Structure 1
Amino acid sequence: MGSSDNDKRTGLSRRGFLGGVTAGAATAVTLRPGAAFAEEVVEPAATSPRFFGRIFKLPPFAPANDQVRAALRELGRPGGLMDARDPLQEGPVRLITNPELSPNNPDNPFHTAGTTFFGQFVDHDFTFDNNSPLGVPTNPRTSPNTRNPTLSLDSVYGGGPNVNPEFYDPADRVKFKVESGGLFEDVPRRADNVAIIADPRNDENLMISGMHAAFLLFHNRVVDRLRSQGVPADEVFDKARRLVTWHYQWIIVHEFLPQIITFGITRDILTHGRRFYRPSPGQHFMPVEFQGACYRFGHSMIRPSYRANLRGDPGGDPATGAPAFFGFIFDPTGQGQRDPVDLRGGARAPRRFIGWQTFFNFGDGNVRPNKRIDTRISTPLFNLPLAAIPSGDPPTALPQRNLLRHLTWSLPSGQQIATAMGIPVLGPDSFPELRPLGAGLDASTPLWYYVLKEGQLLGDGITLAGVGARLIGEVFIGLLELDPASYLAVRRNWRPTLPGRNGSTGDFTMVDLLTFARVDPTSRGQ
């Protein structure tokens, strides 16, 4: 992605940004001369894409005993060390329009709010564990990953129109079924409001269901384009799916990864190769270090509330300047409501659509930022609806669930992995808040918490750094390189061919995708 084009879209100088705030992050991933030690602790790659696996053969950060479980629950409990303690009594409007009300939960001025939900959409595309018991040690190699660990959009396409005809338009089977003409960007639903989509998690909240609907419409517009170009009818679906998937993969490599791990680390992995995630072709497994810890960094970026759209709620507060629909990401009072007061999924109502200008930068001044990457998590995430938890069981505090997952997978500590990777280690002095919990967590820190602290201390909360940045970059790029159908495997120098928002080709961002799909604010009047 050309830096000048991106600067215009985001209002951010990438060269200045990477040369300034992330200098510490760049230092943090410099490999020491003795880093060959890593060869001894990288797991053999003999595993299957159908199951989870490990990158490192290292001992767990702590034993799975009652003392450790109690310490993890204490760390992740409501009102505990990780709770940003957002003043929810101020209401969803004031918490997004007056971010200074949450001093423990600062904004990230270099990310837009949509980065979070694009990241969640991607997560649902390549990993889904609904079998392993929370907090009970489990062998990853016997635990199925019910998603294909490739960035191939099977969370959208399912098995295709022949295997999953319920996702497709019965009158035009190469197109997706879209209800209401896509007017409210809602996914197709049964009479009981259950979404008719390939991955039910893409109806967890209003933003992710809106993104899923945008991808349905994106595919349908690509079909229209191919037909207008005279592509034979029996080739349209496969060509459309490849175009959609490759443009999506381009966004991941050229927009999303540079935002979260820096442009420099992304470029280094693409140019010099992967050092740690190195499965053989056909064995591109989903590593538990990524699934259970590193990639969960995105939970730190979630805001307590969002403005869903600018004009969807006729009963909205006139003081906001328009009948906008604001809501907490989750609010217990929304349970059982037909049109919930919060932004949970699983419901249909005229106001429940996304005005994307809050989430991505369309240049109209309405975009809002993410929260910084740090060890504080927005308060509503400590009280999830059970419907938002795939297993449907407590605990309902998301941080507790993330921390107990370290026991499930017997994950090594952040310090152990940093040592194995030859990356400077954050020592106990970086975690003084963990000492009172006991269990030695300040010296042997759960990987998720360690990655968040790296982002906080080394990346200024703007990007990931150290262990987190390197492993996330290697897994993303590795899964693309090992997928024989991806653009990095088929045609590494390929560039986008669909027109962007300005009509040109050769680059493609989420703003361009939403514009092409005609769900941008200009085409929808959102």
Structure 2
Amino acid sequence: MSFDHKTVTSLGMAGALCCSILAGVAEAQSSGPNNLHLPGMRDRHQAPDNTFIRMFPDLPPFARPSDEARDLAKKLGEKGGLIDAMDNLTDPVRSITNPGEFSPNNPDNPNMTAGVTFFGQFLDHDITLDPRSPLLERSDPRRTTNFRTAAFDLDSVYGDGPDSSPELYDTSSGDIKLRVEAIPGSELVSRKGAVRFDLPRDAGNNAILGDSRNDEHVVLAQFHLAMLRFHNAVVDHLRTDSANAGKSADQIFKMAQRQVRWHYQWIIVHEFLPLTIGQAHLDNILQKGLRFYRVDDDMSNRRDRSARNPQLPIEFSVAAYRFGHSQIRPSYRLNFGPDGGQPVFAFLFDDTQDPNDPDPIDLRGGKRAARRFVDWQTFFNFGDGNFRPNKKIDSKLSSVVMLLPGSRGPAPGLPSDGVQSLASRNLMRYVNFGIPSGQAIAR
């Protein structure tokens, strides 16, 4: 089975994303209830109706939730099963330079760069968070809390704002910026001796950020960091404008926050969606409106309210948007290393690594070390020929996500319930929520 643009669109992905963008614009100056998942911190309050809905409530589930169905789903997604691309994981460099030999079942996508995958992961974490649905029990989307706002408002970055989430902010300059920290020794392993930065961390190396999942691996952590630094750069830019000389720190913060959100939403509409579903499909949605996704807050046509607080379809969260997992490469060139030195190549995950190693050879998160930073030329096209593609959207997942870190101890941002295959997790949740088959939805 493969997924083309039409299939993904029929599942409502683009409609849900477009609605989230519009809601983000409507809420650009407000703060919704969010949740910081930091060690020792309590959950923040959530609106009781901030749950999920069904886009196709009249369609029967692909499989009735049961232990037998879950066991079959788990087995189908296990390492060595039908979904495993069976990549050769012996050499992270040759995995990139010789994909035909090392990943014959996992073709590159020449139309997307490697960074598109992680931009997609970042925006997913900005609109959905369901940490409480058990993997071995039936789940009801109407009783499942989404701990993110469904709008692209960067609540995963800003938390509940400077007053309610002060641990995310740095006011030492007199303005309200987001905290970042230099990586000690990074100038020794970086081109031109540049100092590199990391997310703020506590004494236990736990990242201090609005969503702990964004420290799942180095690339995502560095992308989150880029958003923090972008906000800070916008604050500095606004301060150079004489028209803002008399504005307070809070006023400048709100102006910067709005501009950051608008840039982020522009990239989603003008770059991410055209790359993912095609410009023609996107134009059709923007011009003719939504076809399947109805923005109902509580299924009672309260559109004045739901336009500001949309609820995401469970078919999007659990099924359609999971296509991004097939775009993951086994390995990446993280950075170029120092002038005259060797680049850093590594597999995204390697479960054989010691979880207590301060600088493991894979790209798992929760670590700070001199070489654990990203040179973005590998991940996006800057016109210098250094970018690499991601993988095609199909029914195969790279072998590195068929055995997520966890067998030797907890890994930051990753599940710890014993099911290590990402494919198995996806399929088990598909069963738990009673999602219809893709064929039934397409018909």
TM range (shorter): 0.7 to 0.9
Q: Secondary structure at the match of 1:183?
A: coil
**Equivalent position of 2:342 in the other structure:** 323
Q: Which has the higher contact order (CA 8 A, sep 6+)?
A: 2
Closer/same/farther in 2, CA of residues 123 and 365 from structure 1, 3 Å limit = same
Amino acid at match of 1:347: K
Cα shift at 1:27? 9.9
Cα shift at 1:170? 3.7
User: Gaps spanning 5+ residues in structure 1: where?
Assistant: 1-21, 31-46, 315-320, 420-526
User: Gaps spanning 5+ residues in structure 2: where?
Assistant: 11-46, 184-193, 296-302
**Equivalent position of 2:422 in the other structure:** 398
**Equivalent position of 1:95 in the other structure:** 95
CA contact (8 A) 1:185 1:214 kept: no
**Equivalent position of 1:294 in the other structure:** 320
**Matches for 1:71-470 after TM superposition, within 5 Å:** 71-89=72-90, 91-101=91-101, 102-172=103-173, 173-180=175-182, 183-230=195-242, 231=244, 232-233=247-248, 234-279=250-295, 280-283=303-306, 284-311=310-337, 322-334=341-353, 335-386=355-406, 387=411, 390-419=414-443
What CA distance in whole angstroms lies between the structure 2 residues aligned with 1:298 and 1:208? 14
Cα shift at 1:71? 2.4
What CA distance in whole angstroms lies between the structure 2 residues aligned with 1:111 and 1:49? 37
CA contact (8 A) 1:51 1:141 kept: yes
| Backbone CA RMSD of aligned residues | 2.2
Cα shift at 1:119? 0.3
Q: Secondary structure at the match of 2:197?
A: coil
Q: How many residues align?
A: 374
Q: Secondary structure at the match of 2:345?
A: strand
Amino acid at match of 2:435: L
What CA distance in whole angstroms lies between the structure 1 residues aligned with 2:200 and 2:427? 35
Q: Secondary structure at the match of 1:396?
A: coil
What CA distance in whole angstroms lies between the structure 2 residues aligned with 1:188 and 1:55? 39
Cα shift at 1:49? 5.8
Amino acid at match of 2:56: F
CA contact (8 A) 1:136 1:407 kept: no
Bigger helix fraction: 1
Cα shift at 1:146? 0.6
Q: Secondary structure at the match of 2:182?
A: helix
Q: Secondary structure at the match of 2:332?
A: strand
Cα shift at 1:388? 5.2
What CA distance in whole angstroms lies between the structure 2 residues aligned with 1:282 and 1:247? 25
What CA distance in whole angstroms lies between the structure 2 residues aligned with 1:249 and 1:112? 19
What CA distance in whole angstroms lies between the structure 1 residues aligned with 2:276 and 2:323? 10
Q: Secondary structure at the match of 2:429?
A: helix
CA contact (8 A) 1:130 1:391 kept: no
**Equivalent position of 2:189 in the other structure:** none
What CA distance in whole angstroms lies between the structure 2 residues aligned with 1:388 and 1:69? 26
Closer/same/farther in 2, CA of residues 384 and 27 from structure 1, 3 Å limit = closer
CA contact (8 A) 2:366 2:412 kept: no
What CA distance in whole angstroms lies between the structure 1 residues aligned with 2:258 and 2:415? 33
CA-to-aligned-CA distance 1:132-156 (integer Å, 9 cap, x gap): 1114221111111111111000000
CA contact (8 A) 1:327 1:343 kept: yes
What CA distance in whole angstroms lies between the structure 1 residues aligned with 2:200 and 2:9? 44
Cα shift at 1:60? 0.8
Amino acid at match of 1:380: V
CA-to-aligned-CA distance 1:458-482 (integer Å, 9 cap, x gap): xxxxxxxxxxxxxxxxxxxxxxxxx
TM-score, length of structure 2 as denominator length: 0.80
Closer/same/farther in 2, CA of residues 394 and 281 from structure 1, 3 Å limit = farther
CA contact (8 A) 1:49 1:282 kept: no
CA-to-aligned-CA distance 1:229-288 (integer Å, 9 cap, x gap): 132124100010000000000000000001111111111100100011111343310211
